Amino acid sequence: MKLAVLGLLAFAFDRAGEFISRLMPYRERLYRLALAQLRNTTDAEDAVQEALIKAGKSAQTFRSESSEYTWVVRILINHCHDVQRKVSRRQKREVTGDLVEQKSTQIADTRAQPEQNIELSDMSRHLMDAVNELGQNYKPLILMRYFEDMSYESIAEALELNTGTVKSRMNQAKTLLKSKLEARGIGGDYFG
């Protein structure tokens, strides 16, 4: 009996390893998506690692109803949302503490990790700031569509939504994004 269980475990680990190795070519795309979502290189790297580990552990449950990439994107987006909720909770706790101490800590963190400060042109910075203000219903749509060039159907699969819902939310997201950019003095004529 023990030999059979060990055989099943070995098969499961082998299948998970094979599954993860098939996902490795997507690692850079997943990282870009996580970085755009989290805006922190360390958190993005951790999120990709976690998503790949979760995908490997759940390899036996993958039913091929969507592509492997779409499936792991869903896992990654969910994990990014979890990270953002934790950061939000932590920031709320810090606000109740000494405000001066919090600001000095943030300044020290920024100076301690200059490699995390990605230099962007003013336009790129305004665009990313506006995208990051969209919230969890719209931000992933913009990131997947325009940063990862995913189809509406793939986005719908990744977010477990109807394609019509994705198209509707995408229109709302674009309208919100346009108004946020206009508030920054960047009009529609800037994009041609």
The full set of domain ranges for the chain reads 1-118, 120-192
Contact present, 131 and 36 (Cβ < 8 Å): yes
The phi and psi torsions of 106 (rounded to 5 degrees) equal: -65, -40
pLDDT on residue 130: 85
Amino acid at 143: L
Q: What is the dihedral of CA 36, 37, 43, 49, to 10 degrees?
A: -90
Contact present, 184 and 124 (Cβ < 8 Å): no
pLDDT on residue 166: 92
CATH class for the region spanning 120-192: mainly alpha
Separation of alpha carbons 77 and 72, rounded Å: 9
pLDDT on residue 164: 93
CATH ID of 1-118, from 1.10.260.40, 1.10.1740.10, 3.40.50.620, 3.90.1300.10:
1.10.1740.10
Inter-CA distances, 98 with 62, 86, 89, 103, 124, Å? 47, 20, 16, 9, 34
Please list the rounded mean pLDDT of every run of 10 residues in the chain (192 residues): 42 58 83 87 90 80 73 88 82 57 43 43 76 86 86 88 92 90 71 42
- Joined tokens for residue 57: 């552990």
